[in-house]
Copies of this chain bind each other. A is one copy, B any other.
Amino acid sequence: MAQNIYDDPDFFAGYSQLPRQVEGLDGAPEWPAIRAMLPELSGRRVADLGCGFGWASRWMRDRGAASVLGFDLSQNMIARARADTRDPAIEYRIADLDTLDLPEASFDLVYSALTFHYVRDFDRLVRMIHAALVPGGALVFTIEHPIFMAAAHPHWISDEDGRRTWPVNGYSIEGERRTNWFADGVLKYHRTLGTTLNTLIGAGFEPRCVEEFAPTPEQIEQMPALAEEMERPMMLLVSACRH
């Protein structure tokens, strides 16, 4: 069973105040880049793995998805997601991605935002998703970037010119990383970018787009604090197509 930090009251209290939880998709600077990677949604059957409060699930349904099935480990998240819709084509379930099995060839799109880095066995998950998609179906997901996750002490430092700099060590040593983020000892799994892509390819996916999220000049103008995201990527965005 995966660690369920999202139902820790202290964690949840802090997490719920993040701009992306309060404002929804517009509070996530990477959302325009994700949206550009999504296929046409009209009539499509979608699974949203790690759906949280359901912001993306509802957005995809609003864009014409025939059905959206959202999964999250957190009872808090699923309770609020359920409270926020009465649409019978949107269904939310509590599930652990370390053990979830979806029915075969049942989805046109599997979407996941900032969740797969909590999953221990990425290969199992990716093979399950491949089987759950119809041929030609798409997998679009975001994770914390391995550059962001790798180091023993992942926080800003300064270089000799005083420039904001990110430390990397242990990059090729995959596995558990513990960080303190709204709670102590949040458990994540570091994988190299190569492992992430080769796992997809090995399962029968063809990578279509790999984005290491960086803000646009317009985004930086509107929110100058985003400029530091040019120094190192925090998020990796991937779209892949099932053969």
From B169, B172, B193, B232, give the contact of A171 (CB < 8 A).
B232
Residue of B nearest to A172 (CB): B214
Say yes or no: A157 contacts B167, CB within 8 Å.
Answer: yes
A105 in the interface (beta carbon within 8 A): no
CB distance from A64 to the nearest CB of B (A): 27
Question: Which residues 92-142 in A have Cβ within 8 Å of B in the complex?
Answer: none
Say yes or no: B201 contacts A208, CB within 8 Å.
Answer: yes
Which residues of chain B are near A193, meaning CB under 8 Å?
193, 210, 212
A170 in the interface (beta carbon within 8 A): yes
Question: Which residues 135-179 in A have Cβ within 8 Å of B in the complex?
Answer: 147, 150-153, 157, 159-161, 163-173
Question: Which residues 198-214 in A have Cβ within 8 Å of B in the complex?
Answer: 198, 201, 206-212, 214
- A-side interface residues, number (CB < 8 Å): 39
Say yes or no: B147 contacts A171, CB within 8 Å.
Answer: yes
Known: A147-B147, A197-B207. A168 touches B169 (CB 8 A): no
Which residues of chain B are near A201, meaning CB under 8 Å?
207-209
Say yes or no: B153 contacts A161, CB within 8 Å.
Answer: yes
A233 in the interface (beta carbon within 8 A): yes
Using an 8 Å CB-CB cutoff, how does the interface string of A201-235 with B read, 1 for contact, 0 for none?
10000111111101000000000000001111100
Known: A207-B207, A212-B193. A165 touches B169 (CB 8 A): yes
With A151-B165, A153-B161 given, name 5 new contacts (CB 8 A): A159-B169, A192-B212, A194-B210, A194-B211, A201-B209
**What are 21 A-B interface contacts by the 8 Å CB criterion?**
A147-B147, A150-B232, A151-B159, A151-B165, A152-B161, A157-B157, A157-B167, A165-B167, A165-B168, A165-B169, A166-B167, A168-B168, A169-B232, A171-B212, A171-B231, A172-B230, A172-B233, A194-B210, A197-B197, A198-B210, A201-B209
